[in-house]
Amino acid sequence: MAGWMVLANPAHATDAECRPSGAEPAEIAMITRQGTLRLRDGRELTLAHLLPFDSTLAEDRESGPGKLRAWLAGQIMSWKPAGEPDRWGRIPANLFLQEPDRREPPFWLQAGLAQQGWAALWPGRMPAACLARLLAAERRALAGARGHWAAGVQAGHLARLGSTPEAAIGERLVVVLRIRSVRSGRLGGFVNFVPSLHGSPSLFLTTRQMEAFRHAQRDPFSWQGKRVLLRFVVPVQGVGRIRIEGIDHLLPID
């Protein structure tokens, strides 16, 4: 489990959600094929801030939850809720693992999965300090082209979008693309990618999003020719009309 450890920083009130203090002990009864964790008391947990586990490693969907079960085996687990239950009663949760000998402090499972490239991050409502930790962990996996970020996995996502985009409608995807061009429009900005996502333009950024990018010193016009990480929900209109939820769903890599 040592390979999972993420460098610890002093705890701050702003990131208490992703720190183990106050977490509730839990015993896992089973892990479903979708990566949902069912506890002995009947409650079901999902891994907050990550894509569903079995859709992150396209070449190994069948064994993904099995691997998660192996990684958790023998560990002391605790959890904190990270939001309200969904319509099926599943609770989004932050999970913390600790070695049985307790020589090391508990670590945040989400950060470990992101750092190894075993899961892709989907930023939502969380403390900024927790988001920063996840983004830093994900960037290490990107740099090593591990797991979800391996060239073959990424090529599989793009090939599927190119051949049967209608089959992916409504799915949340995270892919690495190169920006071919960025141009201004009356209501925002338009971004085209290489390889093409079979639509021109592929991504529309609202005026507010363009301003937010500039305020964060991440001007999209400076990214032409560079690689970016793009998180998006495949729209009914097709991949030529992509929009993003927030500026953390489009991040420069180069």
Question: What per-residue confidence (pLDDT) applies to 4?
Answer: 45
> Which residue type is seen at 142?
L
Residue 1 banded pLDDT, cuts 50, 70, 90: very low
Question: Taking all residues of the chain, what is their mean pLDDT, rounded to a whole number?
Answer: 82
| Alpha-helical runs (H) found in 145-218 | 151-163, 207-215
> Across 104-152, where does the E strand assignment appear?
107-108
Residue 59 has pLDDT above 50, yes or no: no
Which is more confident, 124 or 10?
124
CA 155, 4, 99 angle in degrees (round to 5)? 145
Give the contacts of 151 (CB within 8 A, at least 6 positions apart). 145
Length of the chain: 254
Do residues 144 and 118 make contact, with C-beta atoms less than 8 angstroms apart? no
> Is the alpha carbon torsion for 118, 119, 120, 123 positive or negative?
negative
